[in-house]
Amino acid sequence: MGRAPCCDKTNVKRGPWSPEEDSKLKAYIEQHGTGGNWIALPQKIGLKRCGKSCRLRWLNYLRPDIKHGGFSEEEDNIICNLYISIGSRWSIIAAQLPGRTDNDIKNYWNTRLKKKLFGRRKESSQARRLSSLNQDPKDANGVDDNPNSQGLSNSAFERLQLHMHLQSLQNPFSFFNNPLLWPRLHTQMPQVSQTQTIPLQKVGFHEFPSSDPISIEGDKSKQDEIENSISGFSPLESSIAFNNGSEGIQPNGMEQLNMNVQSLSGLQTELSDLIYGKNSGSAAINEDQMTDQFDCFEEIDASKDSMSWWANDFDTKSSSSNSWDSTSVPQTEGMFQDYVLRYDL
């Protein structure tokens, strides 16, 4: 038995909104509010539209505080940072960007930002492979390289790739250069601490700007909320996050959050380099180096089965709750925590 439709699909108009419909909806909401019931709203106004459609139109287009137009460099960085940390939680990301909607950000990521980060890499590696093998994008065995075809979600794989690349830039002794961190060893070395926490002062990330949207400095209630959220982890979550007795300093909630924030700040610089091709100190790489860096992804691609435990963990974390709204951001910090601990190896 399926769910009852929210409205009579045969009696509602679909497709693009006309200016008249827009003005009707806008005028009504500005005067009366939504009345707490989107489903009933179109009937009150006399619009032949589904309530959900009205809600979407208002939230994504008609709201007075909506910011239209291109995204700034700072917004790009925030989106990338948050995407790496929490994945496609567009509503949460949107909550950090005043005036931007989740739909906007989602579209922007899928159509532009993702290509800035991944497009050239995939293109170059694939082009070189094709030129050397002179064959289809499918490999010599006819196996599709697409990670999706083997059960690894786009989001997880993209974040994994981005993570690994940034990691290799930031810390040459981690991951690719440290066999202890290689995923295929996971099952063979059950007690090896793969997520070792380290003192904050050794991290050496850049100062995080106080104006950053995710900064909670000075916001006592938010800090308390996040403290509670972090200390409220289940034993399983805690064991994942702190990896069963790592010898590093076990930060309390706020220290951990600061780590997250500082780590994200570090990512910001790297992302600027990636996206905008700027040179920023030690992280600067030229195009050849970039291409060389990207070669590793082909190898990783070949062994993605063995690393799926890791990516799947991202996915598990990401999909454990489907109810995310701006008020549940503290939960996000928990995921920041898990992720950043790994990142800060």
Residue window 113-152: x/- pattern of binding to DNA, with contact defined by CB under 7 A = --x-------------------------------------
Q: Which residue has the tokens 């990521």?
A: 109
Residue window 148-177: x/- pattern of binding to DNA, with contact defined by CB under 7 A = -----x-x----------------------
Residue 125: what residue type?
S
Phi and psi at 12, nearest 5°, equal -115, 145
Q: How many whole angstroms separate alpha carbon 149 and alpha carbon 172?
A: 31
- Does residue number 334 form part of the binding site for DNA (CB under 7 A)? no
> What is the closest distance, in whole angstroms, from the C-beta atom of residue 282 to DNA in the complex?
31
Q: How many whole angstroms separate alpha carbon 178 and alpha carbon 198?
A: 16
Q: Which stretch binds DNA (CB under 7 A): 85-93, 136-144, 287-295, 296-304?
A: 85-93
- Does residue number 260 form part of the binding site for DNA (CB under 7 A)? no
HSE-CB for 115 with a 13 A CA cutoff: 5
Structure tokens at 122: 């995939």
Decide: 293 and 285 in contact? Cβ < 8 Å.
yes
- State which of positions 26-45 bind DNA (CB under 7 A): 34, 36-40
Task: Enter the DSSP assignment of 110.
Answer: I
> What is the closest distance, in whole angstroms, from the C-beta atom of residue 334 to DNA in the complex?
15
* From 51, 183, 251, 330, residue interacting with DNA (rule: CB under 7 A): 51
CB atoms within 10 A of CB 6: 13
- Does residue number 15 form part of the binding site for DNA (CB under 7 A)? yes
**Size of residue set near DNA by CB under 7 A:** 49
Q: How many whole angstroms separate alpha carbon 154 and alpha carbon 151?
A: 9
List residues near DNA by CB under 7 A: 2-4, 6, 9, 13-17, 34, 36-40, 50-53, 55-57, 60-61, 68, 88-92, 102-104, 106-108, 110-112, 115, 153, 155, 321-326
